[in-house]
Amino acid sequence: MEDSVKEEYFKLLRFESVGADPSKTDACAACAEYLSSWFGALGFTSEIVAPPDGSAPGFVFAELKSEGESRPTVLIYGHYDVQSPDPVEAWHTPPFEPVEKDGRVFCRGSQDDKGQSFALLCGMRDYISSVPADKRVNIKVVIEGQEESGSAFLMKSAPEMRRRLAADILLVCDTSAAEGLRPAIVAGLRGVGHLTLTLTGASRDLHSGVYGGIAPNAAQGMAELLASLHTPSGAIAVKDFLAGIEEPTAEELKYAEDGSPDDEAYRKDIGCEISGGEAGKSAVRRNSFEPTIEVNGMHSGYGGPGSKTVIPSSAVAKLSVRFVPGQSNVRALDALVAYLREKTPRGMKLEISEINYGAGGFRLPLASPVFRLAADVLAQMDPRGALFMWDGASIPVVSALRDASLASPLIVGWGQNGDRIHAPDESYSFRQFELARTWGYRILEALS
Amino acid sequence: MEDSVKEEYFKLLRFESVGADPSKTDACAACAEYLSSWFGALGFTSEIVAPPDGSAPGFVFAELKSEGESRPTVLIYGHYDVQSPDPVEAWHTPPFEPVEKDGRVFCRGSQDDKGQSFALLCGMRDYISSVPADKRVNIKVVIEGQEESGSAFLMKSAPEMRRRLAADILLVCDTSAAEGLRPAIVAGLRGVGHLTLTLTGASRDLHSGVYGGIAPNAAQGMAELLASLHTPSGAIAVKDFLAGIEEPTAEELKYAEDGSPDDEAYRKDIGCEISGGEAGKSAVRRNSFEPTIEVNGMHSGYGGPGSKTVIPSSAVAKLSVRFVPGQSNVRALDALVAYLREKTPRGMKLEISEINYGAGGFRLPLASPVFRLAADVLAQMDPRGALFMWDGASIPVVSALRDASLASPLIVGWGQNGDRIHAPDESYSFRQFELARTWGYRILEALS
């Protein structure tokens, strides 16, 4: 990697652009400005589209028209916001200072998605500098600041910007390659939604002796409420949440199994049994084709050293869900809310807030021309050829951008499970960066 | 209250003597020194007994011998340590600065137990200054610094100090009066023990999309583990924990019902349904004669604003239990530990730490001479006369001191549920203080 590129990359990483954290508004704005200038220097028209009241980080919208006639249009999507670095104390290096070690860059966002999307953009810059302007595709770019918290502003804006977003291909680099960096085309994504639960019992924390046996315990109640979400076999217990699910085809299941690590590799990666999801189904099926309800956090009462004999008056839990095709994200999340209300322990109040319906999941037809072209490019880059993958993760805004732009999504990323995205010590290797960059260059060339 | 007494009381309250918090070691030591000097000024011999390695706050042991012959010996017990002020932000005034309002003193410890025990000691001082030395009882005092976290050091020391602690009556002021400040003699206490659970799944927090359906979720697992502790009716599900329980007698149940607030008063006090404990049993029975297992805190994963789509790798919960007579605290807690191990969700590791077996519960015979004497004194103080109560709370060290001193416990306190002990905005009224003080004076006089 040229020093100048590394300098740009590291500068991008140093912005503490945690889009979900209102205290990081300025860092997000500065990061967006930096990206917008970067596009400006390349000859793009570029602007930051943001809510007038400053209530959310804006997105960069940049455009470079081809000088040729009737050229196809590629819409590139990425995000500059990152997950919270919490728990900060678990990092081995400062979360917002890029540190090189063993050919990797350790930093929050080094992969997800500053690293992956910036690598793709560097490939795009290589393409622009080597392909004459009249031979190029039209390029539109959206880099947003709320992906990790639901993309609310971009999802709201996209339908109003249909004409400006109109494109043929929607190019996204925010996913993983298969094991050993074998290229992978994402043929489907799960959807995602989330909500916050607050359960309240007594009007204050109470002494566990004086009131024990009398007052309801909000921590115990929350534990019961959350435990009710799954059956003992790990299946989701919320029947109406599961309504309408489309089972994968035999072909999809076969491709998915082919592209998936084996159980032992998963065990080694996560450091424990792969006991998530419903017992009796394969790991890849549970991850790619089944929905989930995950507790992302739960907090109640005392957590310090020693003991505090208190009956907590309230408990908070954060849940996220993954949707699969056939589920309506709105109906499924409403069904979850109704179930939680029904299961609210006696004597307590349940408040549901920060509800985000997100977007449903999707699967794309394997035989499309775009997929064939991409497979050719990837086969040139790697003799093993590309796999199809159905990623368990979600990019809700891809659905919204697909609807607004009418483009075919082409989602190829270069992450690996060991990158520790969303966790302390996130990293991305220079090798991964260069693969993403090469991919960006070659696919644009192939589409030209 | 005389200004000089208020000054002493407020000085005592300002020590941030959170015995369970290792960062408050110096505050605890200073508080013990203050009390020891206070006894010295009254003519007591006084010392601070502390672990040589400074690993725990010490206790004050003070003694004033009668100049009469064959006088009975009264051992007074209290504690200067207080609960953590967390959550500090929920207090309306600084937790360690006494603030007077509407005849009450707001401060951590204003009641539990600095306020109650200091009021009793002021009564003792009144007694000393008005009763000639040859007519007085022998007085021994133990004021310790670890009651809120299990009294480990005093409980370990007591058996080794049998001769020094030997007494006829063990006088304790750390409980509540009945509704409307009607005097109450505690005829039984529940025991208490506690432990900390750490449940671990994957070796790090994981992305809920990339790993959802594959990795176990420690927050979900902890919720399931905690939910397994109770049946849907609120009864304790851990059968072996309940072994040996002695049911209350009809007389005890009747006295307890007489001394208890009605359900509506409880509801008003706690601000919600009184849905703790097993459905179908009366509130006073659930609180006085049934054991409990309470979740004092549970913490896992993300708790900040917005969402963080993470699968937490670990979860921590703090549990405390209340024992009733017939339960062996050791066997019951071991049964709980075995149950938790058996219910540990597949694929996860359970670590149990900070286990404190505490002490079992006890009930005293209602017809004892000490109880009759106390009832007479209290009937003189209040024409309604005294009630017997079986407090749901615990003073584990009382069992240990009873065993070491061979004294009969006489536990009369002047708390009220509205004092908010263990919670933000703890307070104690001057009226309560003066009742405790008068009681201290009169019972010593009656025992002389």
- pLDDT, one tens digit for every residue, chain A (448 residues): 999 999 999 999 999 999 999 999 999 999 999 999 999 999 999 999 999 999 999 999 999 999 999 999 999 999 999 999 999 999 999 999 999 999 999 999 999 999 999 999 999 999 999 999 999 999 999 999 999 988 989 999 999 999 999 999 999 999 999 889 999 999 998 999 999 999 999 999 999 998 999 999 999 999 999 999 999 999 999 999 999 999 999 999 998 888 788 899 999 999 999 999 999 999 999 999 999 999 999 999 999 998 899 999 999 999 999 999 999 999 999 999 999 999 999 899 999 999 998 888 888 888 889 999 999 999 999 999 999 988 888 887 898 898 899 999 999 999 998 999 999 999 999 999 999 999 999 999 999 9
pLDDT of residue A399: 84
Please give the helix or strand (H or E) that residue A111 lies within, else none. Answer: none
- Nearest-angstrom CA–CA distance, A94 and A107: 8
Contacts of A22 in chain B (CB under 8 A): 305
Contacts of A270 in chain B (CB under 8 A): 201-204, 206, 211, 214-215
Task: Give one DSSP letter per residue of A120-175, joined into a string.
Answer: HHHHHHHHHHHS-TTTSPEEEEEEES-GGGT-HHHHHHGGGGHHHH--SEEEE--S
Q: Please name the residue of chain B whose CA is at the shortest distance from the CA of residue A358.
A: B307
Any CB–CB contact under 8 A between A229 and chain B?
Answer: yes
B361 against B111, higher pLDDT = B111
- What is the rounded average pLDDT for all residues in chain B? 95
- Nearest-angstrom CA–CA distance, A224 and A235: 16
Helix (H, G, I), strand (E, B) or coil at B57: coil
pLDDT of residue B102: 96
Tokens of A72: 């196809």
Q: Work out the average pLDDT over B244-261.
A: 89
- What is the end-to-end Cα distance of chain A in Å, rounded? 26
Q: Do B176 and A210 touch (CB under 8 A)?
A: yes
**B170: amino acid identity, one letter:** L
- Nearest-angstrom CA–CA distance, B34 and B52: 20
**Looking at the partner chain, which of B294, B301, B322 has a beta carbon nearest the beta carbon of A296?**
B301
| Torsion angles phi and psi, residue B78, rounded to 5 | -155, 180
Q: Do B308 and A345 touch (CB under 8 A)?
A: no
Best mutation site among A86, A146, A149, A210 for testing chain B: the one with the most B CBs within 10 Å?
A210
- Nearest-angstrom CA–CA distance, A319 and A315: 13
Identify how many contiguous H helices and E strands chain B contains and give both numbers. 13, 18
Return the DSSP state at B46: E
Any CB–CB contact under 8 A between B280 and chain A?
Answer: no
Q: Please name the residue of chain B whose CA is at the shortest distance from the CA of residue A421.
A: B207
**Looking at the partner chain, which of A223, A272, A302 has a beta carbon nearest the beta carbon of B203?**
A272
Q: Do B213 and A276 touch (CB under 8 A)?
A: yes
What's the Cα-to-Cα distance from B193 to each of A1, A19, A306, B331, rounded to whole Å?
60, 44, 12, 12
Any CB–CB contact under 8 A between A353 and chain B?
Answer: no
**Looking at the partner chain, which of B274, B317, B318 has a beta carbon nearest the beta carbon of A215?**
B274
Any CB–CB contact under 8 A between B216 and chain A?
Answer: yes
Q: What are the tens digits of pLDDT across the range B210-221?
A: 899 999 999 999
pLDDT of residue A170: 97
- Nearest-angstrom CA–CA distance, B183 and B34: 30
Any CB–CB contact under 8 A between B266 and chain A?
Answer: yes
- Nearest-angstrom CA–CA distance, A402 and A409: 7
Contacts of A148 in chain B (CB under 8 A): 308-309
ipTM associated with this complex: 0.78
Q: Do B213 and A420 touch (CB under 8 A)?
A: no
Q: Do B208 and A84 touch (CB under 8 A)?
A: no
- Nearest-angstrom CA–CA distance, B92 and B74: 39
Contacts of A352 in chain B (CB under 8 A): none
Q: Please answer whether residues B236 and A318 qualify as being in contact, where contact means their C-beta atoms are separated by less than 8 angstroms.
A: no
Best mutation site among A208, A287, A417 for testing chain B: the one with the most B CBs within 10 Å?
A208
H helical segments located in A365-429: 369-381, 396-405
Cβ-count burial of B304 within 10 angstroms (0-12 exposed, 13-18 middle, 19+ buried)? middle
Query: Angle A442-A443-A446 (CA atoms, 0-180°, nearest 5)?
Result: 85
- Nearest-angstrom CA–CA distance, A8 and B445: 84
Sign of the alpha-carbon dihedral angle for A51, A54, A59, A61: positive
pLDDT of residue A156: 92
Helix (H, G, I), strand (E, B) or coil at A313: coil
Least confident of A389-398, B327-336, B377-386: A389-398
**B256: amino acid identity, one letter:** A
Any CB–CB contact under 8 A between A230 and chain B?
Answer: yes
Domains and CATH numbers, chain A: 3-175+395-447 (3.40.630.10), 192-245+291-359 (3.30.70.360)
- Nearest-angstrom CA–CA distance, A289 and B213: 10
Contacts of B228 in chain A (CB under 8 A): 227
Q: Do B424 and A209 touch (CB under 8 A)?
A: no
Q: Give the closest residue to A203 by CA, choosing from B274, B108, B111.
A: B274
Q: Please answer whether residues B415 and B95 qualify as being in contact, where contact means their C-beta atoms are separated by less than 8 angstroms.
A: no
Q: Work out the average pLDDT over B301-322.
A: 95
Best mutation site among B148, B211, B286 for testing chain A: the one with the most A CBs within 10 Å?
B211
Any CB–CB contact under 8 A between B223 and chain A?
Answer: yes
